[in-house]
Amino acid sequence: EVQILETGGGLVKPGGSLRLSCATSGFNFNDYFMNWVRQAPGKGLEWVAQIRNKNYNYATYYAESLEGRVTISRDDSKSSVYLQVSSLRAEDTAIYYCTNGYSWGQGTLVTVSS
């Protein structure tokens, strides 16, 4: 059974930073591109970032709205992917989901507020 679990969300002040983690199991992690997608309260889905696998030299891609403030990384030995987000703004408040494109975790809520 595929399992994806995001952690690391919470309440952070504007300008602060967070590192989100995503632990996975049940599929061959090394074969997959991994993505972060976010959803602001009551809004739709927004793709945030992707990291490709070793065959693609772990290439990374980011949404323009967050470029320069986010870094995606992965640790194949732990079947895990990470998202570092800095200079957080109120509009970054959202549930952040980790997905391999087929399965999604339940998400972790990031709230940016003073």
Partner 1 sequence: DTVLTQSPALAVSLGQRVTISCRASKSVSTYMHWYQQKSGQQPKLLIYGASNLESGVPSRFSGSGSGTDFTLTIDPVEADDIANYYCQQNNELPYTFGAGTKLELK
Would you tell me which residues interact with partner 1 (CB under 8 A)?
Answer: 35, 37, 44-47, 50, 61, 63-64, 97, 99, 101-107
CB of 99 to partner 1, least distance (A): 8
Nearer to partner 1, 14 or 25 (CB): 25
CB of 77 to partner 1, least distance (A): 26
Q: Tokens standing for 95?
A: 């549930």
3-state secondary structure of 17: coil
3-state secondary structure of 56: helix
| Nearest by Cα to 29 from 97, 106, 101 | 101
CB of 105 to partner 1, least distance (A): 6
Contact status, residue 96 vs residue 81, Cβ threshold 8 Å: no
Nearer to partner 1, 4 or 88 (CB): 4
Nearer to partner 1, 46 or 84 (CB): 46
Classify residue 48 as exposed, middle or buried by CB count within 10 Å of its CB (0-12, 13-18, 19+): buried
**DSSP class of residue 54?**
G
CB of 4 to partner 1, least distance (A): 9
Nearer to partner 1, 29 or 107 (CB): 107
